[in-house]
A and B are shown apart, each in its own frame.
Chain A
Amino acid sequence: MLDIEGCLAGALAVPGALDALVAEDAGGAAVASGSLTSLDPQALADAFTASLRTTLDALALSTPGGTVRLEDVIVTTDRGHHLLRPLCPTPAGTALLYLRLDGERANLALARHRLRAIAGRLGGG
């Protein structure tokens, strides 16, 4: 079983991981972060929770015939990947995990597999 710090450590142990952050969705607060070289955790939390909300808005408007459940959001740039993943739903809110990956060293499929396993070990639901 994992706790929040363990979840963060697990994300940073993914090959090619550069930065990781855990935020909460109820208020959008940065909860824990690891290896953020020059980034402000709260600014990052603001940016990626806003991005997640926008993605959900767009999905709501673009998904014909039914409800979808978001598993993760992947943004690929010329330098790497950004992964956003909701995990550990609780009555108090859901955790949001952000992971930035190096494009040269990371394997996107492996990273998603690891994050799915982390979500399972964190529990909730």
Chain B
Amino acid sequence: MASASRTDTAARRTGRGAPPPSRLDAVLGNLARERATGALRVGRAGTIYITGGRITYAESVHVPGVEDLLTASGRVAAAVVTEVRRAAAADGGETLVRQGTLTRGELQFCVLGATLDAAFSLHEVTGARPRFREGDRHWLGPQWYFDVAGLSRECRRRRLRLDHAWPSPALDTRPVVPAPRVTADRVVLTAVQWEVIVHADATATPADLARRLGRPVYPLLLAVRQLAAAGLLVPPAPANGTPGGPPPADPPAPGGAAAADGASGELPRREKGASRPAGAPPAHSADGTDVGVLIRLRDALERLL
């Protein structure tokens, strides 16, 4: 998933050059150059598995692993995973496919999704000293190969996308509390946003919800920030006398939470500014919805052509 042109584009999109590589990035870069195979422990936060210099799996204590995703979601019985894991040296994935528990596509997508989620979580860890153990392998065996630079770039892209949705990490680690009453007449939610609202019990953080639901953490973080931007969550308690949470960089996109999705955030800023009148239409009004949807549909189509 890497290409030189993509680096250029990513840098251009963020409006600044690539950030200086972190210690983790530097260590991973060396392991990639040496085409190493083994496991890189990132402090106590998690482990990144490398096969021939490419990342084949990552796990973080803060996000569900493949086993958790498969069992908490009810897709595979916990006993099946435990049994296969116990019997497997480093080819448990093959067993799961061979015995018909998962299709290969499903297994690849679960591994890929869990790895992206864990890598994002591990990239946020600072101060941990990475330690490499040559030859250690994950029990699932390699199912998908990420190049090191491509995965780091994807982590940065995910960070930017979160900040576009709602530029504050305040809600990322707190219990999710849906607003008891909303000012909108009606609200449009994505499926993930629905799950967050339904399962939020004022004690579970986004990471708790992820474990409970058997979903990666990142889409829940994104959903929580989108819900916050749409005014559907109780904002975090004011800190240092600042009223409410920090305001979003842009007014919440009209049309409820679904419309606050990265769709508009990832498009070039100037187009958005130019196409939206200075006095933006009030959130949730029918007019604003129509205009917002049309503008984003047009912009998205333009980028496709």
Contact = CB atoms under 8 A, between A and B. Distances in A.
Given A42-B10, A53-B263, A91-B70, A124 B106 contact: yes
Given A1-B104, A61-B255, A123-B105, A51 B301 contact: yes
Given A26-B216, A92-B216, A61 B188 contact: yes
Contact of B104 (A2, A29, A31, A42): A2
- Main SS class of interface, A: mixed
Contact of A90 (B3, B110, B262, B303): B110
Contacts of A95: 105, 109
- Main SS class of interface, B: helix
Contact residues on A (Cβ < 8 Å of other chain), bracket: 35 or more
A40 B116 CA distance: 20
A91 B116 contact: no
A3 B93 CA distance: 13
Interface stretch (B24-32, B121-129, B153-161, B167-175): B153-161
Contact of B109 (A55, A57, A75, A88): A88
B304 A47 contact: yes
A93 B113 contact: yes
B297 interface: yes
B114 interface: yes
B112 A24 contact: yes
B161 A27 contact: yes
Given A43-B9, A54-B297, A29 B154 contact: yes
B188 A92 contact: no
A7 interface: yes
Interface string B180-202: 00000000101000000000000
Contacts of B72: 91
Contacts of A54: 263, 293, 296-297, 300
A83 B59 CA distance: 34
B1 interface: yes
Contact of B3 (A41, A55, A60, A92): A41
A3 B304 contact: no
Contact of A92 (B69, B161, B258, B263): B69
Interface string B87-131: 000000000010000111110111111101100100000000000
B219 interface: yes
Contacts of A24: 109, 112-113, 116
B1 A29 contact: yes
Interface in A73-91: 75, 77, 82, 88, 90-91
A58 interface: yes
Contacts of B190: 53, 56
B106 A90 contact: yes
Given A3-B104, A24-B109, A60 B188 contact: yes
Interface of B: 1, 3, 5-6, 9-10, 13, 66, 69-70, 72-73, 75, 97, 102-106, 108-114, 116-117, 120, 144, 153-154, 157-158, 161, 188, 190, 214-216, 218-219, 222, 255, 258-259, 261-263, 266-267, 289, 293, 296-297, 299-301, 303-305
Interface of A: 1-4, 7, 24, 26-33, 40-43, 46-48, 50-51, 53-58, 60-61, 75, 77, 82, 88, 90-93, 95, 122-124
Given A42-B9, A93-B219, 16 more contacts: A1-B97, A26-B218, A28-B157, A31-B1, A46-B303, A50-B263, A50-B303, A54-B300, A57-B261, A60-B258, A75-B304, A91-B215, A92-B111, A92-B215, A95-B105, A122-B103
16 contacts: A3-B105, A26-B218, A26-B219, A29-B1, A40-B3, A42-B153, A43-B6, A50-B263, A50-B303, A51-B300, A51-B301, A57-B188, A61-B293, A90-B110, A91-B215, A92-B66
